[in-house]
Amino acid sequence: MRNSLIVMSVIILGVVCGSCKKKEESKLKDNPFMQEWNTPYGVPPFDKIKTEHYLPAFEEGMKQQKEAIETIVKNTEDPTFGNTIIPLEYSDELLNKVSSVFFNLLECCNDEEMEKLADTIMPLYTQHGDDIMLNAKLFERVKKVYQNKDKEQLNAEQLRLLEETYKGFVRGGANVPADMQARFREINTRLAMLTQKFGNNVLKATNSYKLVVDDATRLKGLTEQQLVAAQEAANADKATKGKYVFTLDMPTLEPFLMNCADRELRKEIWTAYSSRCLSGEYANEEIINEIVNLRLERANIMGYDNYANFVLEDCMAKNANNAYKLLNQVWVPALAKAKEEAALYQKMIDREHGGFKLEPYDWRYYCEKLRKEQYDLDEEEIRPYFSLDTARKGLFMVCNKLYGLTFRENPDIPVYQEDVKVYEVIDNNEVIAVVYMDFFPRASKRSGAWMTNFREQYYDRDGNNIIPVVSLVCNFTKPAGDKPSLLNIDQLQTLFHEFGHALHSILSRCHYRSLSGTNVPRDYVEMPSQFMEHFSIEPEVLKLYANHYKTGENIPDALVKKIEAASTYGQGFINTELLAASLLDMDYHTITTKTTIKLPDFEDQAMAKIGLIPSIISRYKSPYFNHIFSGGYAAGYYSYTWAAMLDNDAYEAFKENGVFDQATATAFRTNILERGNTDDAMNLYVAFRGHEPTIDALLKNRGLK
């Protein structure tokens, strides 16, 4: 009787499990990630993707990659490039498909449901990555192919893929002793969770603050557009209707600090901005402590004395000493320039008011006043010539003149948010990329600006070129009233900067996804983006596209000359705050012993050591330094300065030969933009320029020489 019950139970269980399996299979079948995307150019069908689809797709993607790797490992043939490296390269097609959508939307369409889902996915995703990197049998095969590379007739790109794959395993922990692998995995999983939490705290802290002003007389100095935007923001909430609301989003904060004459209001909003996440509900001090110490422990396990040396070994800088050397070379003249600027602003204060010292919340206000006084240059005089639409057309025009590209908006391509616009990129009558442009702030979107991919360029197994699907994300001032979004010079350069990254992906001509586009060393990836900034305000270029949004009038020669004359104005501040953040980053990641970090003490000591004047703060203070504690720039924020050495030197070639010289543009495209990571970064640069870069052009162009 008992045996009969057991048999019956097994039969029933089998029926139930079979039913569950069918349901699961049906769910997967209905999951958009499991289907071929019959959208234009195979872009993500955002209108069909729901939050519930992500986790099953992640799980299936990881399962498929594990099966592919198991096939590689069980192959009884001797390891070769063809039976080991190639199948490994293509093993994550589904996982890459879902992760590219999820992690990108997590940054710009975040909500509580997505946050909770990320908390579930991140440990699984991290563990999956460790399972691959720490798979001894897989690494043994990769290692044998690497050791026998001279025996295979590999072309240059195949050889580069092999070298990068082998190096990726080593840097991913493949050589970590067996008795330390469990701890290594724990660290990786914990870091993934902590960096996610850090970024969420910054987003929430930013969104939680509003400066509400009900007395319009206190807003003297603000432009009509700023006032209208503040009224619209206030009227969106019953509690503030009829008042004025200002947030910590940079398109609101920066102009407010530049124009508002009321010093107490400037102080209030600045204090809120600069003290985010230092204390209270969204405090990040404990998270910073754990991140820094876990990164150090991870580096030690890998055989490095600090985290920076581990990171930089795979960059152009090679080690922390070289990064520090460059930063300090620029720091000395930048700080001297900043002190000169501070003295000028203090004189203006003493002349007009007296009785107070220049503070960080005064800097932008008096910087703008002196700019008007010295150069007769008013930002509000500039903005009308740079509506977002005009700037975008100018950007497209530059890309056309340099590389022959044209852009066509396609409203039939699905978008993930109603404000987003999509363009086809056309080269020689062929669509070579799709570009999403997402320009305005919203509560679900982190601050800043970035370029990313929903799909990178590569060739599939059948030899078909898969075109990239690129996304450009910014936070520009939204149109207010009857005025379009009007950009200042900094925002204009941000647009060109991010599109420089986009071009690196758009023009990629690489066979392997892991080598294509922007998959390059951190201190090289910023070079194409910063290079594009030069074209945004080049006098010859301005005359071709900068037209008044109302009248259509071309920007006057006199205004172009003012912009050119003022191009190095304020560079002391701009470079000093950037370098201060870069040096702070290096200080965190060159720690060699477990440390208890107290804030703001650690940061105050770091800034005192380099002599930062009190009227300037680091571009990002530690508690909201997303780049290094939530993004991919840990021990890498110096890269903006390293890349500046490259981009300024590169632009000299265009100044020497002509801004739109076709031979120079073609050399830049074929040696830099098309090549991705198919060769050493310095080799690629020298192939374009003919020599290694020096710091001279950087110092000259920034007025520091």
Rounded Cα gap, residues 529 and 520, in angstroms: 13
Q: What gap in Å lies between CA 3 and CA 16, rounded to an integer?
A: 20
Helix axes 522-536, 388-403, angle to 10 degrees: 110
Cis peptide before 333 (omega within 30 of 0): no
Question: What is the spatial distance between Cα 231 and Cα 235, in angstroms, rounded to a whole number?
Answer: 6
List 341, 498, 526, 674, catalytic entry: 498
| Phi, psi at 92, each rounded to 5° | -110, 30
Report the distance separating Cα 676 and Cα 453, nearest Å: 14
Q: How many residues does the chain have?
A: 705
Q: In whole angstroms, give the CA distance from residue 400 to residue 217.
A: 47
Q: Pairing state of beta strands 430-438 and 421-427? A: antiparallel
For residues 149 and 171, give the distance between their C-alpha atoms in angstroms, rounded to a whole number.
20
Contacts of residue 173, defined as CB under 8 A and 6 or more positions apart, other chains included, come to 130, 133, 134, 181, 184, 301, 302
| 3-state secondary structure (DSSP) of residue 327 | helix
Q: What is the 3-state secondary structure (H, E, C) of 80-112?
A: CHHHHHHHHHCCCHHHHHHHHHHHHHHHHCCCH
Is the separation of the CB atoms in 270 and 363 below 8 Å? no
Catalytic residue at 409?
no
The answer to whether the bond into 600 is cis (omega within 30° of 0) is yes
The helix (H) or strand (E) run that includes residue 133 is helix 112-133
Question: Coil, strand or helix: which one is 148?
Answer: coil
Distances (CA, A) of 652 to 278, 552, 649, 698: 43, 32, 5, 10
Instruction: Extract the tokens encoding 17.
Output: 């499990």
With the CA atoms of 606, 609, 610 and 612 taken in that order, what torsion angle do they form, in degrees rounded to the nearest 10? 70
So which residues are the catalytic ones? Answer: 498
